[in-house]
Amino acid sequence: MAYHWRYQDEVGREVPGPEISFAEQTAAERWFETQWSELTDAGVQQVTLVHNGADVYGPMSLSPEA
């Protein structure tokens, strides 16, 4: 029962990012709130929250114009 983030470029191709799992959705979202600017700096353009292989929501753009 784990949540994790899938990291993508601007067209939806997966890109590398931190491989961290969270027991709860709120923990995953709190982590993201503190890390989104570092992810953007690393080339991540959008993210999707995944729970046990199923998308919870996303893709969500990290662009401030979105």
Predicted pLDDT of residue 63: 86
Residue 66 lies in a domain: no
Kindly report, residue by residue over 31-42, the tens digit of the pLDDT: 999 999 999 999
Tally of domains within the chain: 1
CA atoms of 18 and 24, how far apart (whole Å)? 17
Residue 57 lies in a domain: yes
Residue 25: give the domain boundaries.
Answer: 3-61
- Pairing of β 46-51 and β 54-61: antiparallel
Tell me which of 64 and 55 has the higher pLDDT: 55
Question: Position of tokens 């939806």?
Answer: 12
- What pTM does this model have? 0.91
Residue 24 lies in a domain: yes
**pLDDT at 66 > cutoff 60:** no
